[in-house]
Amino acid sequence: MATPQDVINMIKENDAKFVDFRFTDTRGKEQHVTVPISHFDEDKFENGHAFDGSSIAGWKGIQASDMLLMPDPSTAYIDPFFDETTVVLTCDVVDPADGRGYDRDPRSIAKRAEAYLKSSGIGDTAFFGPEPEFFIFDGVEWSVDMSGCSLKIHSAEAAWNSGEKNDGNGATGHRPAVKGGYFPVPPVDSLHDIRSAMVLTLESLGVPVEVHHHEVANAGQCEIGTKFSTLVQRADWTQIQKYVTHNVAHQYGKTATFMPKPIVGDNGSGMHVHQSVWKDGKNLFAGDQYAGLSELALFYIGGIIKHAKALNAITNPGTNSYKRLVPHYEAPVKLAYSAKNRSASIRIPFVASTKARRIETRFPDPIANPYLCFAALLMAGLDGIQNKIHPGDPADKNLYDLPPEEDAKIPTVCASLEEALENLDKDREFLTRGGVFSNDWIDAFIALKMEEVNKIRMTTHPVEFDLYYSC
């Protein structure tokens, strides 16, 4: 584990000129503030760096705005994009009134979830492995004002560009078809080199990468698979992965987005989350039940299924999230589990070793705040274990092609952000155990997200002109 002195040594060895303090807001976006080396020393690790918390959406009001950023020395790395050598430190947000992690700080919430797992006696470590998909476009334009709204995506890989002579690919005709982007070699996959650059950057920053490839959708859908780790570190790595993805794409003159459903009529981007709970070096999810799972793992699944609609508010936190969660686009809307069926919301991957035994929750998407997402999934799973919530029989049929009478018996995820927020409001007790999430945070989160719901609700949409203009 790195120490403050290790950070000081890194600064000296690299002749760093600045230190960048980073933290994550409620929506999951990293924020930062930078200090020159002349104003940085080991005292920052003890006393923190003061900032105005009232300026962060969903945080304290102006009457109680003073907060502290407490840097974690184990997170230090040299930023690969700044002109001047800069050491980056991920921070916890601390309330100076009591010296504790701020109850609305996502990283502090994630730390409390890890502590709650240990205090429960169930396990001592939770491992998480997210798979955030994303799109790389050549450009994107949008406009929203009183005169109307418009959107245009530019992509040389787009199937809709097959009739264009100046599409950026020289009209060569090599591009993925709709739902045809999975694994073709170049030149159909035109983004290999960009992804490779992202991978090399991630590895230079200490984020282990296992694979990269083009994903199913046309117009530049990609995935970079990174290694699993403990809850907080894996959330830290996810934030680094997003930062690198955005900035490498920008260096190539392109633009990357983790938006769940940026294009119509093709697959959206999910963030499947692999999970397991361990104790004393033993994987508690390995056993002799269905697909090699333990009874404890089945109870964990039962907790996620029970609380899925409340979880949706955190794992699928945008209005756009629910344009992905529709049947037939590999979107797992059915609340069931299966070892074979990718239409189920929870899958048990095939593995060769009991150490790798895990579950994969498939409904989250990549605009979810990773600290909040992983913490909420863990709390739901622990509730399932504590209350022995069995998930019922597995679903080994294609859940999209069931007879109506069978289909009606299988619950689904929420169909809108508003529905998810309503369920979070009603089903919150499992999140507040051990003080992991506070009721104050839940209330503030619902209020923040309802602003997004209302903005969409009040904005006239071009499709409405199609539907109603001539009525």
Residues designated as active site: 52, 131, 133, 215, 223, 272, 342, 360, 362
The annotation status of 340 as a binding-site residue, yes or no, is: no
Distance, in Å, from the CA atom of 117 to the CA atom of 69, rounded to the nearest integer, reads: 25
Q: Are 410 and 335 in contact (CB under 8 A)?
A: yes
The annotation status of 31 as a binding-site residue, yes or no, is: no
Distance, in Å, from the CA atom of 259 to the CA atom of 220, rounded to the nearest integer, reads: 13
The annotation status of 360 as a binding-site residue, yes or no, is: yes
The annotation status of 133 as a binding-site residue, yes or no, is: yes
The annotation status of 210 as a binding-site residue, yes or no, is: yes
Burial 226-251, CB ≥16 within 10 A → b, else e: bebbbbbbbbbbbbbbbbbbbbbbee
The annotation status of 195 as a binding-site residue, yes or no, is: no
The annotation status of 215 as a binding-site residue, yes or no, is: yes
Query: Cis before residue 327, ω within 30 degrees of 0?
Result: no
Query: 3-class secondary structure for 87-149?
Result: EEEEEEEEECCCCEECCCCHHHHHHHHHHHHHHHCCCCEEEEEEEEEEEEECEEEEEEECCEE
The annotation status of 13 as a binding-site residue, yes or no, is: no
Q: Are strands 229-230 and 125-137 parallel, antiparallel or unpaired?
A: antiparallel
The annotation status of 272 as a binding-site residue, yes or no, is: yes
In a 3-state reduction of DSSP, which class is residue 357? coil
Q: Are 153 and 140 in contact (CB under 8 A)?
A: yes
The annotation status of 42 as a binding-site residue, yes or no, is: no
The annotation status of 46 as a binding-site residue, yes or no, is: no
Distance, in Å, from the CA atom of 157 to the CA atom of 446, rounded to the nearest integer, reads: 38
The DSSP symbol for 282 reads: E
In a 3-state reduction of DSSP, which class is residue 214? strand
The annotation status of 419 as a binding-site residue, yes or no, is: no
The annotation status of 355 as a binding-site residue, yes or no, is: yes
Q: What is the distance in angstroms between the CA of the first residue and the CA of the last residue of the chain? A: 67
Distance, in Å, from the CA atom of 175 to the CA atom of 189, rounded to the nearest integer, reads: 7
**Residues annotated within a binding site for Mg(2+):** 131, 133, 215, 223, 272, 360
- List the binding residues for L-glutamate: 267-268, 324, 330, 342, 362
Report the binding-site residues.
131, 133, 210, 215, 223, 267-268, 272, 274-276, 324, 330, 342, 355, 360, 362
**Binding site listing for ATP:** 210, 274-276, 342, 355
